[in-house]
């Protein structure tokens, strides 16, 4: 297991190296010039040239990449070219907010998908399964921004039950923090809930047809026991893969949800960095997201062994 | 406590903004940053709403007979946020900073006639000009004074003499200023703190106002004006010191000729602007149509020019016919020598009304066979297209640019600090091929205090601008300040910078 995990970690190094080239290259392909923002709206040509030189943007792109990569391997993601803040500090601060939203979104996704997926498979062919299919179809068709705005309109503007935007840490004001989390968590988690429901239902139905389940029934085991001990545990394996992917996406920052709810997470940081062409922040954040995704995928793979002891890491 | 009992002290004002501050360099006059920077800094003098000169860091001023120098008497009771006394040499160092292109930022272009400044003791400073400079007080009004020891750290901190000190800036999240206990103005500020919260999503900004998450907001979109009024939010119009306009960019002499090389095509665009529809539909009534760039109180305003163009598509079509642009292939778009009459029109994404203006123009000009290709751009892309880059030899990259300009509401010379109009390094005329007489008359108007001489020069400049159609004024742009009913004394400068020093919460 440990050897497997280490081997997987080593395998991620080329992935990260290629990602760094891709991230740097793609960011520089976005049209626009941060020097213009720094020089001001009516800057003179000589001021723009000076701003570019100050930012190091006058150097050849491969030199800029080498300088950046050199910093990254030393654990330094550089500083924002706009506000001078260390990129790592910015990411660390925003990641906490993203982690908070991820937890909320994941909770919503699991709270919806587990009961829906299990009950829809158990009551196959009935009205509940049809209702679940409708919810799943709707959830996958509704755009996130639309759902977010709708929730704000109904629960904030009309009913005035929940605040529409903002974020505070749980350690500061737990009650308000919870109320602020509800709408973005539902917005973020609803789509994932429907994806997970669909996979869980299919997986459950597949496992329920297995010989060992039939055998367990023939032996006279109670339905609840069969479901929890034999069906659900085995049906969760593909679901965990999907859950891992969704988790990676959440941790990478939910750009749309964070913008609608003014949530100061990684997604908004990336969006703002794109808007201002703050290259170090954008490169650092995207690289951080890639690393996070790789880590989550690795953890997901390792979780298989726990769920299904037949899987052994060679 | 009710309002009759007077202002209350204490509390935090939370102000929503459409974007985050970029830095604390007071010479960088970015539309988003400078209204926030104002909390930290003071200027030497300030204009009141009627454009009278009022004291700030300077209590008195005297110009010499030739108008080539101004001597300012400075307050002797001012300390910087770091506790050091404010002295005349600080002003001198700010002037010197403004004179250097790299550090002078947007103020550098305004101080072209300044030759230097000298301190006479700690509380008197004289600023010298190479020629009479009628807009010298505009410069003093816009130039906020920074502590020289902060010059190297303006990317994320400020040391000023303003009513609030910087407390914390979490980029993209919140910018908080706290009360300056040593502020020179007795009893001010009333508030303990002012926080600015940037919203990436304008809808979220408006909703935050409606639900009371924030106390006030700067620069809310015109489309939400009525919605906020209906929700019981007070919305005030700023000074109207900005002007929506369309900059027209004819090809440079070293570029191949294009449709806009022909003055008649440019004039056809000028005749195709339906200002009333734009104010109604794109600006939702928050504006005031104008054909000339100066308000009626300005020395550069002329009644006879104010109606030079109207919305007349027949006149526009006739000019295009005369210029040889006709629809030869029946596809609805005029062409000439195999070239279609398509005009690339850039707009600013962060100000969606500019795109709406472009869309109205697109619909109108389509009826006379001109295709307007509207291209909304984000700020980082808009800048290089609007200003040009070293790669384009400083030449702007667009045919039409729906934009806004500022400072024409003070001394008219303020308009000519804006990049499209400036006689030096204009991205529209980077090779210096300005319309005949433009630069000469501008030099006259900018170097004399003689009103009649200036009016004669400005009349010629106005005629040249209208005839050559290099810029098309559309409407005054009013910055909208929204506030909850319990917010009192929220004010703004003539340049629409928020003044929170007089604000209090009920």
DSSP letters, chain A, are -HHHHHHHHHHHHHHHHHHHHHHHHHHHHSS--HHHHHH-TT--HHHHHHHHHHHTTTS-HHHHHHHHHHHHHTT---B-TTT--BHHHHHHHHHHHHHHHHHHHHHHHHHHHHHHHHHHHHTTTSHHHHHHHHHHHHHHHS-HHHHHHHHIIIIIIIS--S--S----TTT-HHHHHHHHHHHHHHHHHHHHHHHHHHHHHHHHHHHTSHHHHHHHHTT--HHHIIIIIIIHHHHHHHHHHHHHHHHHHHT--HHHHHHTT--SHHHHHHHHHHHT-HHHHHHHHHHHHHHHHHHHHHHHHHHHHH-TT----
Q: What is the pLDDT of residues B463-498, one digit of tens each?
A: 999 999 999 999 999 999 999 999 999 999 988 889
Of B106, B208, B383, the CB nearest to A36: B383
What is residue A253's predicted lDDT score, i.e. its pLDDT?
62
- Of B204, B381, B387, nearest to A165 by CB-CB distance is B204
Q: Is the CB of residue B12 less than 8 Å from the CB of residue B131?
A: no
Spell out the per-residue pLDDT of chain B, length 506, in tens.
445 578 999 999 999 998 888 889 999 887 777 778 889 999 999 999 888 999 999 999 999 988 899 999 999 999 999 999 999 999 999 999 999 988 888 888 889 899 999 999 999 999 999 999 999 999 999 999 999 999 999 989 999 999 999 999 988 889 999 999 999 999 999 999 999 999 888 888 998 898 888 999 998 889 999 999 999 999 999 887 899 999 999 999 999 999 999 999 999 999 999 999 999 999 999 999 999 999 999 999 999 999 999 999 999 999 999 999 999 999 999 999 999 999 999 999 888 999 999 999 999 999 999 999 999 998 889 989 999 988 898 899 999 999 999 888 999 999 998 888 888 889 999 999 999 999 999 999 999 999 999 999 999 999 999 999 999 999 999 999 999 999 999 999 988 889 999 999 99
Tokens encoding B491: 């004010």
Q: Band of the pLDDT at A295, cuts 50, 70, 90?
A: confident
End-to-end distance of chain A based on CA atoms, in angstroms? 8
Residue B281 per-residue DSSP state: I
Nearest to A1 by CA among A309, A308, A297, A302: A302
Report how far residue B341's alpha carbon sits from residue B338's, in angstroms, rounded to the nearest whole number: 10
Quote the tokens at residue A14.
């080329």
CA atoms within 13 A on the CB side of A208: 19
If you count residue pairs, one on A and one on B, with CB atoms under 8 Å apart, how many are there?
144
For residue B35, give both structure tokens: 């209204």
pLDDT tens per residue across span B50-69:
889 999 999 999 999 888 99
How many angstroms separate the Cα of A52 from the Cα of each of A145, B94, B183, B214, B380?
36, 23, 38, 37, 14
- The pLDDT tens digits of the residues spanning B414-453 come to 999 888 888 888 999 999 999 999 999 999 999 999 999 9
Task: Note whether B232 contacts A: Cβ–Cβ < 8 A.
Answer: no
Q: CB–CB of A83 and B156 under 8 A?
A: yes
Check A83 against B171: CB less than 8 A apart. Answer: yes
CB atoms within 10 A of CB B418: 23
User: Rounded mean pLDDT of A89-101?
Assistant: 91
Asked if A259 lies within 8 A of B388 by C-beta distance, the reply is: no
In this structure, what are the phi and psi dihedrals at residue B243, rounded to the nearest 5 degrees? Answer: -135, 120
**ipTM for the assembly:** 0.80
Q: Return residues 261-290 of B near A (CB < 8 Å).
A: none
The alpha carbon of residue B319 is apart from the nearest alpha carbon of chain A, in Å, by: 33
Q: How far A93 CA lies from chain B's nearest CA (Å)?
A: 9
- For residue A266, CA distances in Å to A273, B42, B214, B350 come to 10, 35, 23, 21
Q: What is the pLDDT of residue B1?
A: 44
- Contacts for B49-57 with beta carbons within 8 Å, 24 or more apart? B49/B239, B49/B494, B51/B410, B51/B494, B53/B137, B53/B141, B57/B86, B57/B91, B57/B145, B57/B161
Using DSSP, state whether B9 is helix, strand or coil.
coil
Structural tokens at position A80:
């924002």
Determine the length of chain A: 314
pLDDT in tens, B318-339: 999 999 999 999 999 999 999 9
Taking the CA atoms of chain A, what radius of gyration do you get in angstroms? 24
Count of C-beta atoms within a 10 Å radius of residue B232: 9
Chain A residues within 8 A of B23 when measuring between CB atoms: 38, 82-83
Nearest to A37 among B101, B155, B379 (CB): B379
Q: What is the mean pLDDT of chain A?
A: 87
User: A2-29 vs A279-307: helix axis angle to the nearest 10?
Assistant: 150
CA atoms within 13 A on the CB side of A234: 15
Which residues, at least 6 apart from A127, have a Cβ–Cβ distance to it below 8 Å? Answer: none
């Amino acid at each position: 297991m440990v050897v497997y995990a280490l081997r997987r970690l080593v395998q991620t190094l080329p992935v990260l190296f290629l990602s760094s080239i891709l991230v740097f290259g793609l960011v520089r392909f976005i049209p626009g010039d941060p020097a213009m923002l720094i020089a001001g709206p009516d800057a003179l040509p000589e001021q723009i040239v000076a701003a570019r030189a100050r930012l190091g943007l006058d150097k050849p792109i491969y030199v800029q990449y080498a300088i950046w990569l050199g910093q990254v391997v030393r654990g330094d993601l550089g500083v924002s070219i706009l506000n001078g803040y260390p990129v790592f500090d910015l990411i660390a601060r925003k990641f906490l907010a993203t982690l908070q939203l991820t937890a909320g979104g994941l909770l919503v996704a699991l709270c919806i998908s587990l009961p829906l997926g299990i009950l829809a498979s158990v009551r196959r062919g009935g009205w509940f399964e049809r209702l679940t299919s409708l919810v799943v179809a709707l959830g996958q068709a509704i755009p996130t921004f639309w759902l977010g705005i709708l929730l704000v309109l109904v629960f904030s503007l009309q009913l005035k039950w929940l605040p529409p935007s903002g974020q505070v840490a749980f350690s500061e004001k737990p009650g308000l923090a919870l109320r602020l989390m509800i709408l973005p968590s539902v917005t973020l988690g609803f789509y994932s809930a429907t994806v997970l429901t669909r996979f869980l239902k299919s997986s459950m139905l597949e496992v329920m047809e297995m010989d060992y389940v039939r055998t367990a029934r023939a032996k006279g085991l109670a339905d609840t026991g069969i479901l929890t001990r034999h069906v659900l545990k085995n049906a969760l394996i593909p679901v965990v893969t999907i859950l891992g992917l969704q988790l990676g996406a959440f941790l990478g920052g939910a750009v749309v949800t964070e913008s609608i709810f003014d949530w100061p997470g990684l997604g908004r940081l990336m969006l703002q960095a794109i808007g201002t062409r703050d290259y170090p922040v954008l490169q650092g954040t995207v690289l951080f997201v890639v690393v996070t995704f790789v880590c989550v995928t690795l953890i997901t793979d390792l979780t298989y062994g726990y769920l299904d002891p037949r899987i052994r890491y060679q | 406590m009710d309002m009759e009992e007077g202002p209350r002290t204490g509390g935090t004002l939370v102000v929503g903004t459409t974007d985050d501050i970029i830095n604390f360099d007071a010479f960088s006059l970015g539309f988003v940053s400078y209204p926030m920077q104002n909390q930290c800094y003071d200027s030497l003098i300030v204009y009141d709403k009627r454009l009278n000169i009022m004291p700030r860091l300077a209590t008195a001023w005297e110009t010499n007979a030739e108008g080539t120098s101004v001597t300012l008497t400075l307050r002797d009771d001012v300390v910087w946020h770091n506790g050091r006394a404010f002295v005349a040499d600080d002003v001198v160092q700010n002037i010197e900073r403004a004179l250097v292109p790299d550090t002078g930022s947007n103020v550098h272009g305004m101080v072209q006639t300044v030759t230097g400044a000298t301190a006479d003791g700690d509380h008197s400073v004289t600023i010298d000009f190479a020629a009479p400079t009628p807009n010298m007080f505009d410069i003093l009004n816009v130039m906020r004074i920074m502590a020289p020891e902060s010059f190297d750290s303006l990317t994320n901190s400020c040391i000023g003499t303003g009513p609030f000190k910087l407390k914390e800036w979490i980029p993209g999240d919140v910018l908080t200023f706290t009360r300056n206990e040593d502020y020179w103005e007795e009893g001010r500020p009333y508030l303990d703190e002012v926080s600015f919260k940037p919203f990436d999503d304008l809808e979220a900004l408006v909703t935050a106002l409606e639900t009371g998450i924030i106390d006030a907001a700067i620069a809310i979109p015109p489309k939400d004006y009525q919605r906020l009024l209906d929700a019981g939010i007070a919305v005030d119009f700023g000074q109207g010191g900005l002007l929506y306009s369309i900059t027209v960019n004819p090809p440079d002499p070293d570029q191949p000729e294009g449709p806009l090389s022909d003055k008649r095509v440019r004039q056809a665009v000028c005749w195709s602007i339906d200002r009333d529809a734009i104010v109604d539909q794109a600006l939702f009534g928050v504006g005031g149509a104008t054909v000339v760039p100066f308000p009626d109180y300005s020395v550069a305003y002329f009644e006879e020019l104010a109606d030079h163009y109207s919305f007349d598509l027949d006149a526009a079509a006739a000019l295009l016919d005369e210029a040889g642009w006709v629809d030869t292939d029946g596809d609805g778009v005029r062409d000439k020598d195999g070239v279609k009459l398509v005009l690339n029109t850039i707009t600013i994404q962060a100000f969606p009304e500019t795109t709406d203006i472009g869309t109205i123009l697109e619909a109108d000009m389509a009826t006379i066979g001109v295709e307007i290709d509207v291209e909304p751009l984000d700020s980082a892309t808009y800048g290089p297209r609007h200003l040009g880059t070293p790669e384009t030899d400083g030449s702007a990259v667009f045919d039409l640019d729906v934009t806004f300009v500022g400072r024409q509401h003070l001394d008219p010379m303020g308009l000519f600090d804006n990049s499209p109009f400036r006689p030096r390094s204009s991205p529209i005329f980077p090779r210096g091929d300005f319309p005949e007489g433009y630069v000469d008359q501008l030099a006259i108007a900018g170097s004399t205090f003689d009103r009649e001489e200036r009016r004669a020069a400005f009349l010629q400049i106005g005629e040249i601008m209208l005839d050559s159609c290099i810029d098309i004024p559309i409407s005054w742009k009013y910055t909208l300040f929204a506030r909850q009913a319990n917010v009192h004394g929220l004010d703004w400068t003539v340049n629409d910078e928020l003044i929170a020093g007089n604000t209090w919460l009920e």
